[in-house]
Amino acid sequence: MRQSVFVKKYNKDWIMKPLAEILRPKDLQDFCSQTHLLNDAHPLKQAINNKQLHSMILWGPSGVGKTTLARIICAQVEGYFVQLSAVLDGVKELRAVIENAKKYQNIGQSTILFVDEIHRFNKAQQDAFLPHIESGLITLIGATTENPSFELNRALLSRASVYVLEALDETGLMQILQRCMVHLNLTLDQDSQEKIVVSSSGDARRLINIVEKIDQAKLTQLDAQSIGQFLQDKVSNFDKGGDIFYQQLSAFHKSVRGSSPDGALYWMARMLVGGCDPKTIARRLLAIASEDIGNADPRALEISLNAWDVYDRLGDKEGNRAIAQAAVYCAVAPKSNALYKAFNQAMVEAQETHDLSVPKHLCNAPTRLMSDLDYGQGYRYAHDEVDGISHSQTYFPETLGESCYYQPIDRGLEIKIAQKLRKIRGES
C-alpha cells in the first residue's frame, strides 16, 4: 500500500505536507550532496563537529539544500533555530528574534538565525544584524542564490564565511529519487528515472515536485513516453537579473572573444531559452565589437548595429537569427584590444592632467582680440600639406609632450593602419 503524504497534527487536524518537507534530511548522513564542504578536513565540518559554529553565508542555486543544511547544522550544535524570510520579514521580526535570543542566552543556549534569500534585505536591514553578530548573541546563517559580493554589505561579509553550494550531480539526484519512490511506493522504469534526473537540472526540490505530481496522478508506473507530460514545464536555470544571467553572458562574451562561433551560438541559445531579452545580447555584441575587435575589423561594429536594427524591424524569430549572424561574424573576426587599451590610457592621463591648457595653435580665433593674443598662430592646415599630413605638428599640451596611446597589432585591418601610423609618426 502506498504511504500517505498526509500527516497528523495534534491528533486532531489533518494537514498535507509537501513531499519535499517530508523527505527533508534530518542529519548529515542523509544529506547526499555538498561533499566538498562536508568532508572532515573542511573548516565547516570541523566547526560542526566541535559545536563551535560561526556566522556564514550559503550561496548556491535553488534546490541544492541550503535550508536543509542550515537546519541540520543547528541540530548538530544543539542551538535554538529560528528562521526568517527576507521576502516576508523585516526589522520588526528581527527585533522579536533578538528578544527571544536574549532569553535563550540567559539559560545558556545559543540562537542560530537562518535568513532565507538574505540578498533581498536592503542595506539598513542587513546592518541590523551586525551588533548582534559581534556580541555573539546570534549566529547568522544566510542563504542566497545571488553573488554575495554584489548583493551583501561589505560589513556583513567581513563577519561571515561564504560557502558555495553546488548544483546536485546525477548521482545525488538519483539517490533522492530512490527515496521518493520508496516513500510513495512508486515504480518507474530506468529510462523514466533518468529523464526525471536530467529534467531536474541539479535542483532537488524540482525533482521531488515532479515525482509528487506523478504520485498525485494516481499512476504507479510510467513509461518513457507518458512521463513527458510531467516534464513539459521545465524551467531553465536562468535569472534575468541574477548571478546566473551574468555568468552566461560572460560565457557568451568570452566565446566570441576567443573566436568560438559555436560556443557563442550555444550560450546565446541558452540565454534565449531562459527568457533573456535578445537586445541584451545585441548590446553586448556592440561592446565586443569595440572592445575586443576594434579596428582589426571595423565592420564588426556596423554588422552588430545592423543586427539590432533587424531585430527591431522583424521581431524575435528573424531578429534572433540576425543577432546570431552578427555573433558568428564577431567570433571569427580578427581580434584587437589596441583601441580599448589606448582609450583607457588616454582617460587616465586626461584625469591626471585635466588642468593643462589647450596649446594656442590648436585654438580657434573667431575674434580680433583672440587673433591678437596669437590664438591659432602656427597651426598647419593638413589639407594644404603635400600628403595631407601635418608632420611634426604637436597636438598635446606643451608640458605633456606628444604621447602614443594607440598601438595597432599585427591582425586584420590594423596591419595596414600600423603601416600608415608609422608614416604619420615619422617612424619609417
- CA angle (55, 59, 65) in 5-degree steps: 95
What confidence score (pLDDT) does residue 339 get? 93
Percentages of the chain per state (helix, strand, coil), in multiples of 5: 50, 10, 40
Mean pLDDT of 293-317: 94
Of the chain, the end-to-end C-alpha distance in Å amounts to 91
| Contacts (Cβ under 8 Å, ≥6 apart) of 354 | none
Mean pLDDT of 365-391: 86
pLDDT interval class at 13 (50, 70, 90): very low
Q: What is the pLDDT of residues 408-424, one digit of tens each?
A: 999 999 999 999 888 88
Domain 243-332 has CATH 1.25.40.80: no
φ/ψ region of 376 (left if φ > 0, alpha if ψ in -120 to 50, else beta) reads: left
pLDDT interval class at 12 (50, 70, 90): very low
- CA distance linking residue 58 with residue 83, whole number of Å: 14
* Equal fold, 34-164 vs 170-231: no
- CA distance linking residue 203 with residue 239, whole number of Å: 15
- CA distance linking residue 68 with residue 23, whole number of Å: 10
84 pairs with which residues across the strands?
115
Residue 7 has pLDDT above 70, yes or no: no
Domain 34-164 has CATH 3.40.50.300: yes
What confidence score (pLDDT) does residue 232 get? 59
Q: What is the pLDDT of residues 133-182, one digit of tens each?
A: 999 999 999 999 888 888 899 999 999 999 999 989 899 999 999 999 99
What confidence score (pLDDT) does residue 227 get? 64
- CA angle (174, 177, 182) in 5-degree steps: 130
Residues across the chain = 428
pTM beyond 0.75, yes or no: no
Residue 238 class from Cβ within 10 Å (0-12 exposed, 13-18 middle, 19+ buried)? middle
φ/ψ region of 401 (left if φ > 0, alpha if ψ in -120 to 50, else beta) reads: left
Please state which architecture CATH assigns to domain 170-231.
Orthogonal Bundle (1.10)
| Contacts (Cβ under 8 Å, ≥6 apart) of 356 | 397, 399, 400
Residue corresponding to grid cell 550559503: 58
Crossing angle for the helix pair 190-200 and 170-184, nearest 10 degrees?
120
The domain locations on the chain are 34-164, 170-231, 243-332, 338-424
Question: Does residue 117 contact residue 148 with C-beta atoms inside 8 Å?
Answer: no
Q: What are phi and psi of 76, to 5 degrees?
A: -65, -40
Annotation: CATH topology of 338-424:
post-AAA+ oligomerization domain-like (1.10.3710)
